[in-house]
């Protein structure tokens, strides 16, 4: 008897589990979701490490010969590296310094042997480039793996930062329109109609035409400012529903301000929608960044992203150098985006209050 | 019906004004002085001065806005800054190639997606369903760029099944030789999201009571799906198609760029690259207008698809 009471009391103390606990429990039961979570986590870990400069810091170094082939292919004919002049043949006729004694006229003659020795040492370091790299090299002999990690850093950073901006704008504007109604709603609905009447990609291009300064921040701002409409729509509908609920009236009765009611009382009740949409937007913006960077409206030339890698890879494919294309398009981007999409699907199902 | 149409058209005016305001703010205030924007792009000083005068850069904003409003109303956006061609002529010349590839894409994609989604919905919950859904998710995760690059390389360059790129003046040659590869790639890319979307629409419909009734009276599953469910799913299908119509005009600009199809999308990308603002402005305004018209069209079509829908 006391044991039962004890258990009941413990249950009572812990309260009923909230939506996040239920969602987490459901997510843990979904094997696909857990694998996706691990994959996304690994990607994010790699990106954080590269942002901190712990890995892939030297991605810009020309560690290999031009178009170094991947190690697993072994040595293949690399005409590009040869024609790039990696090896200049030695002069056939050795110049023997003893034949003509120039000591009397040449002021450098005394130090000549030393100069030659130094030049030789320097040459050997310059020519010391790898013929093969773990996953090959690009035109300048940069390691594709390091480059892909660095590219992931730009693409994913843009995806996340832009998604946060878009979700923030959408949530605040949606909350204002749905909660206040009346003229605030009318005004924001008008802005929404204006933004959605222009096809999204065209709107992005129009912004890109105006903001010519290429940089991560520009891309993030363009995507963020043009991408808030979907979240706005959903959040506005939710706030319309919640604004007249009893708990909001109760909050009003105890003197909570409008701001408090909107963002302290209602916001937690719609946060699951925000999370799912954030996740959807990250995927969309990563794809958009790749296209923008490919077109040259994205990250600046001194940086790399999956989009700029694809742009380089386009011409490399014709001369048979497929590894940069494979690394950027399939091994990194497709894996991350697939994992992220599957995780988003699972998250949406787990957070859906209708599916109990 | 007429009253409804008039009211809807009337409601377009504030939105259109908003689009004009947005475009004006972007290109006339944020973009800064064209003399600076075009520095290094147009070398002729007199030409830049001429452009500044046309825009009324030194005039107050309300006057600039009036110049712009006149351009919108008369649909005359002046001449391209880089090629000096009238914008309306560029538009008329470029829209044909865009439509030549976009109409086949839209039609083929819609029928294929609906048919495949029906099939998946028929085998819902089974292994086929799960497998198709996983393939769709993976296919959606690969960049459109990757499809085009790989498709152009393998199907065009390596196997020579299709020309790598090109365009002619003859509509039939274009449709028969140059359009198939871009159309094939676009349809392939569209299948993933399309099947996923229509499948969820059909599954949503299948859970309704009328489906149970239809099955209870002994109708075969195929009749239930194709006659009852499809008819009821028309509204989301119309919405989806109407939403993709504006991109019909804009074209799949990536396809146009890769396959050097002289369409509107490629024109816009080049214009963005060269800061050729009149073209970008004109396309934005035209497409915003087209989007609004297509949305209205979709709302009218709802009534055709479902007589219960009332015009409010």
Mean pLDDT of A84-111: 60
Among the partner-chain residues B19, B27, B143, the one whose CB lies closest to the CB of A290 is B143
Cβ pair B142:A329 closer than 8 A: yes
Which residue among B141, B275, B287 sits closest to A199, beta carbon to beta carbon?
B287
Q: What is the pLDDT of residue A13?
A: 54
Going by pLDDT thresholds of 50, 70 and 90, the confidence category of residue A260 is: confident
Task: Tell me which CATH code domain A23-57+142-351 carries.
Answer: 1.10.3720.10
Any idea which residue has 């497409």 for tokens? B287
Model confidence at A215, pLDDT cuts 50, 70, 90, reads confident
In chain B, which residues have their Cβ closer than 8 Å to the Cβ of A325? Answer: 146, 149-150
Residue B125 to residues B129, B130, B166, B209: CA-CA distances in angstroms?
Answer: 6, 7, 45, 20
Q: Residue A97 pLDDT > 60, yes or no?
A: no
d(CA A153, CA A307): 12
Token pair 């002021």 in the structure block, residue: A107
The whole-angstrom distance between A208's CA and the closest CA on chain B is 7
Residue of B nearest to A341 (CA): B137
DSSP string, chain B: -HHHHHHHHHHHHHHHHHHHHHHHIIIIIIS--HHHHTTTT---HHHHHHHHHHHTTTS-HHHHHHHHHHHHHHT---B-TTT--BHHHHHHHHHHHHHHHHHHHHHHHHHHHHHHHHHHHHTTTSHHHHHHHHHHHHHHHS-HHHHHHHHIIIIIIIS-SS-SS---S-HHHIIIIISHHHHHHHHHHHHHHHHHHHHHHHHHHHTSHHHHHHHHTT--HHHIIIIIIHHHTHHHHHHHHHHHSHHHHH--HHHHHHTT--SHHHHHHHHHHTT-HHHHHHHHHHHHHHHHHHHHHHHHHHHHH-TT----
Chain A residues closer than 8 Å to B254 by CB: 291
Q: Where are the domains of chain A?
A: 23-57+142-351, 94-129
A341/B280 CB distance under 8 A: no
Task: Give the one of A210, A317, A337 whose C-beta lies nearest to B30's C-beta.
Answer: A210
Q: What pLDDT digit, counting tens, does each position of B167-198 carry?
A: 877 777 777 778 788 888 888 888 888 888 88
Residues in A touching B145 (Cβ below 8 Å): 290-291, 294, 307, 310, 329
CA–CA min distance A205, chain B (Å): 7
Question: What local confidence, expressed as pLDDT, does residue B203 receive?
Answer: 84
Q: Which pLDDT band holds residue A103 (cuts at 50, 70, 90)?
A: low
Q: Which residue has the higher pLDDT, A2 or B176?
A: B176
Low-confidence spans in chain B with pLDDT less than 70: 32, 34-43, 55-58, 248-251, 311-312
- ipTM reported for the complex, 2 dp: 0.82
**In this complex, which of A208, A330, A338 lies closest to B137 when CB atoms are compared?**
A338
Distance in Å, alpha carbon of A226 to nearest chain B alpha carbon: 12
Instruction: Provide CB contacts within 8 A for A100, sequence distance 6+.
Output: none
CB-closest option in A194, A209, A341 to B15: A194
Residue A317: closest C-alpha in chain B: B153
What average pLDDT does range A11-16 have in this prediction?
A: 56
What is the chain A residue with the closest CA to B274? A209
Contact B26 A207 (CB under 8 A): yes
Position A69 confidence tier, pLDDT thresholds 50, 70, 90: confident
Question: Could you read off the pLDDT of B211-254 as tens digits, one per residue?
Answer: 889 889 988 888 888 888 888 888 888 888 887 777 766 667 88
Q: What per-residue confidence (pLDDT) applies to B64?
A: 77
Residue A356 has pLDDT above 60, yes or no: no
Write down the H helix ranges in A137-266.
Answer: 144-180, 182-196, 200-210, 216-226, 229-242, 246-253, 258-260
Q: Which residue, among B29, B145, B156, B243, would best test binding to A if mutated, counting the most A CBs under 10 Å from its CB? A: B145
Whether A194 sits inside 8 A of B18 (CB atoms) is: yes
Looking at residue A173, its pLDDT comes to: 92
What tokens appear for B105 in the block?
């894409």
Check residue A312 and give its pLDDT. 81
- As a whole number, mean pLDDT of residues A86-109 equals 59
Q: Which residues of B touch A336 (CB under 8 A)?
A: 141
Which residues in B have their CB inside 8 Å of a CB on A?
A: 14-15, 18-19, 21-23, 26-27, 30-31, 37, 137-138, 140-146, 149-150, 153, 157, 246-247, 250, 253-254, 257, 268-269, 271-273, 275, 277, 280, 283-284, 287-288, 291-292
pLDDT in the model for residue A6? 65
How far away is chain A from the Cα of B183, in angstroms, using its nearest Cα? 19
Q: Which residues, listed in sequence order, are joined to residue A133 by a DSSP beta bridge?
A: A70
Element (H or E) spanning A272, and its range?
A: helix A267-295
Distance CA A264, CA A313 (A): 49
Which residue in B18, B268, B291 is closest to A205 by CB distance? B268
CB contact (8 A) between residue A295 and residue B247: no
pLDDT band at A301 (very low <50, low <70, confident <90, very high): confident
Q: Is the pLDDT of residue A276 over 80?
A: yes
**Which range (A58-67, A98-107, A146-155, A157-166) has the least confidence?**
A98-107
């Amino acid at each position: 008897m006391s044991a039962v009471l004890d258990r009941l009391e413990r249950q009572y103390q812990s309260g009923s589990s909230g939506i996040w606990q239920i969602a987490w429990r459901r997510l843990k039961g979904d094997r696909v979701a857990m694998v996706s979570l691990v994959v996304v986590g690994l990607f994010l870990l790699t990106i954080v490490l590269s942002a901190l400069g712990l890995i892939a810091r030297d991605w810009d170094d020309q560690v290999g010969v031009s178009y170094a082939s991947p190690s697993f292919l072994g040595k293949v004919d690399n005409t590009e590296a040869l024609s790039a002049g990696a090896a200049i043949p030695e002069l056939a006729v050795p110049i023997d310094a003893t034949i003509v004694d120039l000591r009397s006229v040449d002021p450098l003659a005394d130090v000549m042997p030393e100069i030659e020795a130094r030049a030789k040492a320097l040459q050997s370091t310059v020519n010391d480039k790898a013929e093969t790299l773990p996953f090959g090299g690009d035109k300048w002999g940069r390691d594709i793996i390091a480059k892909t990690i660095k590219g992931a850093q730009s693409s994913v950073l843009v995806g996340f930062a832009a998604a946060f901006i878009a979700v923030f704008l959408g949530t605040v504007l949606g909350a204002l329109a749905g909660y206040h109604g009346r003229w605030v709603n009318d005004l924001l609905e008008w802005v929404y109609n204006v933004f959605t009447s222009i096809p999204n990609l065209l709107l992005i291009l129009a912004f890109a035409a105006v903001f010519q300064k290429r940089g991560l921040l520009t891309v993030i701002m363009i995507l963020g400012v043009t991408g808030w409409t979907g979240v706005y729509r959903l959040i506005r509908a939710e706030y319309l529903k919640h604004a007249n609920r009893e708990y909001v009236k109760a909050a009003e009765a105890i003197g909570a301000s409008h701001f408090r009611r909107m963002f302290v009382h209602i916001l937690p009740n719609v946060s699951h929608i925000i999370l799912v949409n954030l996740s959807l937007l990250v995927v969309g913006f990563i794809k958009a960044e790749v296209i923008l960077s490919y077109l040259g409206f994205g990250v600046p030339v001194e940086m790399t992203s999956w989009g700029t890698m694809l742009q380089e890879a386009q011409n490399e494919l014709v001369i048979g150098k497929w590894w940069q294309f494979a690394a950027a398009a399939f091994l990194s981007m497709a894996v991350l985006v697939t994992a992220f999409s599957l995780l988003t699907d699972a998250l949406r199902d787990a957070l859906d209050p209708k599916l109990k | 019906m007429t009253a409804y149409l008039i009211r809807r058209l009337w409601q377009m005016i504030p939105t259109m004004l908003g689009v004009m305001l947005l475009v004006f703010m972007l290109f006339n205030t944020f973009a800064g002085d064209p003399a600076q924007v075009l520095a290094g792009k147009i070398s002729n000083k007199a030409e830049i001065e001429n452009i500044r005068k046309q825009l009324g850069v030194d005039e107050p904003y309300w006057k600039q806005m009036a110049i712009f409003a006149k351009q919108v109303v008369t649909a005359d956006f002046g001449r391209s800054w880089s090629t000096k061609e009238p914008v309306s002529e560029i538009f008329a010349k470029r829209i044909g190639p865009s439509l030549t590839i976009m109409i086949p894409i839209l039609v083929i994609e819609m029928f294929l997606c609906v048919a495949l989604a029906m099939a998946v919905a028929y085998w819902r919950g089974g292994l086929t369903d799960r497998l198709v859904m996983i393939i769709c998710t993976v296919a959606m995760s690969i960049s459109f760029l990757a499809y085009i690059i790989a498709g152009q390389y393998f199907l065009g360059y390596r196997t020579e099944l299709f020309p790598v790129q090109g365009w002619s003046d003859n509509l039939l040659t274009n449709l028969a030789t140059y359009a198939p590869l871009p159309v094939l790639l676009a349809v392939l890319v569209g299948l993933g999201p399309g099947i996923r979307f229509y499948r969820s629409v059909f599954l949503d419909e299948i859970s309704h009571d009328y489906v149970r009734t239809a099955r209870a009276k002994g109708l075969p599953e195929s009749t239930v799906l194709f006659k009852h469910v499809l008819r009821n799913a028309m509204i989301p299908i119309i919405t989806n198609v109407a939403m993709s119509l504006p991109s019909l005009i804009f074209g799949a600009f990536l396809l146009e760029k890769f396959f050097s199809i002289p369409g509107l999308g490629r024109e816009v990308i080049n214009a963005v690259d060269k800061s050729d603002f009149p073209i970008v402005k004109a396309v934005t305004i035209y497409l915003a207008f087209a989007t609004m018209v297509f949305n209205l069209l979709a709302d009218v079509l709802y009534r055709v698809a479902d007589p219960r829908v009332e015009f409010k």
